[in-house]
Amino acid sequence: MNRRQFTTVAGGVLASPFPATAASPEAVDTTLRDGIARRGIPAAVGMFASYYKTLYSGAFGVRDSSGTPVTVDSIFSIASMTKAVTTVAALQLVEKDEIGLDEPVGKVLRELARINVVEGFDNKGEPILRPAKTPLTLRHLLTHTSGLCYSTWDETAFRYAAREGRPEALMFEPGTRWQYGTGVDWAGRLVERLSGQTLEEYFQVNILRRLDMVDTSFLVPESKFPRVVSGYTRQPDGTLKQVERKPPTPPKSFNGGGGLYSTAADYTRFMQMILGNGRGINTQGILQPGTVEWMKTNQIGPLSAGKMRSYIPGTSLDVDIQPGHKEKWSLGFLINTDAYEGGRSAGSLAWAGLFNTFYWIDPARNVCGVLLMQMLPFVDTQAVGLLGDFERAVYRG
């Protein structure tokens, strides 16, 4: 089939290009089935869709050592894929004039009103602190330019976190660098304080239920536990060891930076909402089209994003999303400025979760994809290899 379909959506017209020839579902099945066997990956669920419909779905491997097969509705811990949902929640409050993107968040989050920057360490290893000159804003939090960094990928944060009991601090002056961190965690707290709801309550009422994301939550009820895929960790000899299988403990608080459980189908509905300029297939008004445009365009100016050296190799390997290329960051997503060979277009939006769950949204071609695995370390060589295989397979045509 070689045609273009058009439909009017909030904010304009979406074009849906279909390739004249495309890889058959059976060919993509073979890619995933053979890929997990060759790469020693316990389980993978993949889905590829346009705004209008699911174009491919497949599930391969086993839930755990019992040998129970995974299915397309298996549930995964999606970790930092939570961040995009939190970003949508925060931007909904921007649309309601509850907070401005460039307004100091210290007015609501008093913990961030007077925060110090780590300038270095003295000869005893004690941090040298000074007051931040630039007030933290929601834009800083959502673009990872706040200076609030994860110790896994920032040397200063790694050294600072090694001494227990330290107050929250910035690793650099806000707006001067991109460094992946806890800014969206704090944006989640901002949503809770402004809305008067827990993040779970806010997500369910304002985003998840409206998009029919029925299996996405910070909480896993007992009835759904049989669908949860067990985690694995890579051992020094290269083998994977299953993490003890037990029902997730309900969190005492909800973290905007990570913590959601979800399925490939649920997260695809979320991505389709972005393709639909804020409108889900069966609902309107998740976000305004102009707000979604912020989520599609560079928000960090000349800074580059996506390159992260790991200081905790058991948790993550070094991260370089597209070696030899520069990436940008929008409000919520990494943007690749160059096309992937055989895959996503330039200007596509993406991110991932710590346990090797990956997604991308390709507005230029009106498609999106998600591949869910459940293992550490992040960007495990075999997991990234399977992601590339899957992406090329679904685009092939």
* Model pLDDT for residues 239-251, shown as the tens digit of each residue: 999 999 999 999 9
DSSP state for residue 207 in the 8-state scheme: I
| CB burial of residue 289 (10 Å; 0-12, 13-18, 19+) | middle
Distance CA(194)–CA(185), nearest Å, equals 15
Distance CA(236)–CA(241), nearest Å, equals 10
pLDDT value at residue 24: 85
pLDDT value at residue 285: 87
The domains located in the chain, with CATH, are 4-82+90-96+211-395 (3.40.710.10)
Closest CA to 75 of 270, 337, 329, 262: 262
Alpha carbon of residue 269 to chain centroid: 14
**Taking a C-beta distance cutoff of 8 angstroms, is the pair 294, 356 a contact?**
no
Closest CA to 139 of 181, 109, 103: 103
For the sheet containing 116-121, what is the strand order? 127-131, 116-121, 169-170
Instruction: At 349, give phi and psi (nearest 5°).
Output: -110, 140
Residue with tokens 């110090």: 116
**Taking a C-beta distance cutoff of 8 angstroms, is the pair 382, 368 a contact?**
no
Flag residues of the chain having pLDDT under 50: 1-21
pLDDT value at residue 12: 33
Task: Please compute Rg for the chain using Cα positions.
Answer: 21
**Taking a C-beta distance cutoff of 8 angstroms, is the pair 316, 378 a contact?**
yes
pLDDT value at residue 194: 98
pLDDT value at residue 18: 40
Catalytic residues: 80, 83, 180
The answer to whether the pTM exceeds 0.75 is: yes
pLDDT value at residue 23: 61
pLDDT value at residue 397: 53
Distance CA(383)–CA(244), nearest Å, equals 21
Sign of dihedral through CA atoms 182, 187, 190, 191? Answer: negative
pLDDT value at residue 163: 78
pLDDT value at residue 3: 28
Residue with tokens 């994860």: 150
